[in-house]
Homo-oligomer: A and B are copies of this chain.
Amino acid sequence: MEFSSKLLENAVYEMSQLPGIGKRTALRLVLHLLKQPGEQTARLSESLHKLREEINFCSSCHNISDTSLCEICGNPKRDRGLICVVEDIRDVMAIENTGQFKGLYHVLGGKISPMEGIGPQDLTISSLVAKAKEGAIGEIIFALSSTMEGDTTNFYIYKQLENIKVKTSTIARGVAVGDELEYADEVTLGRSIINRIPFEGSLRVS
């Protein structure tokens, strides 16, 4: 693409560095900003800059937070003996939305992925192990995605916790509520059958 303006070219280039945004989409977004009042661009630019500069992570669960201890970790009503291990803040938001979990979280900040150059030392695993060693945690629930990377991460952490007295569990996998069996993939359906639960338990809604 040949641009008539260096300023425009720079903005489009930087925008196209975002995942899933190509040059054409970037140009469309930038031209949209040019048609809107200048304040919109100023606000976008300012909020991104501010976020990146002033970002803070909870000292306990490593979630993004404006305070040194996040709202969840600071809430006296949450069960401090129950830790749910997740990949990032989106998973925390998804689980919080269900309203079914009353414990605390531990945000890993990613998954072990040799392909992307992410090793165990890039995640907050040692902090989780240290927490477990303190002995105040009753159960650690793994809620990582069931991909190759997720399973590897799960297994790595499990190995680290082996000599520590703490119960570990993983969230249930199975056919989604409302889904028809015939359309479920065989691995999922297989897991649903193997990990079947007593009938009265399946009717429990928190």
Q: Which residues of A contact B (CB under 8 A)?
A: 1-8, 10-11, 13-15, 17-21, 25, 27-35, 38, 40-56, 58, 63-66, 70-72, 88-90, 92-93, 96-97, 110
Contact = CB atoms under 8 A, between A and B. Distances in A.
Q: For the complex of A and B, list the 6 residue pairs with the smallest distance between their C-beta atoms, beginning with the closest.
A: A41-B52, A45-B49, A14-B44, A11-B51, A10-B47, A45-B45
Contacts of A65: 4-5
A19 B5 contact: no
B4 A50 contact: no
The prevalent SS among residues of A at the interface is helix
A72 to B, nearest CB: 7
A5 B52 contact: no
A6 B55 CA distance: 10
A46 to B, nearest CB: 8
B4 A89 contact: yes
19 contacts: A2-B97, A3-B93, A4-B58, A4-B65, A4-B71, A5-B64, A5-B66, A6-B66, A8-B89, A11-B48, A11-B51, A13-B47, A14-B40, A17-B40, A18-B44, A30-B48, A35-B110, A45-B45, A45-B48
Given A32-B18, A89-B31, A48 B44 contact: yes
Given A4-B71, A14-B44, A90-B27, A32 B19 contact: yes
A1 to B, nearest CB: 6
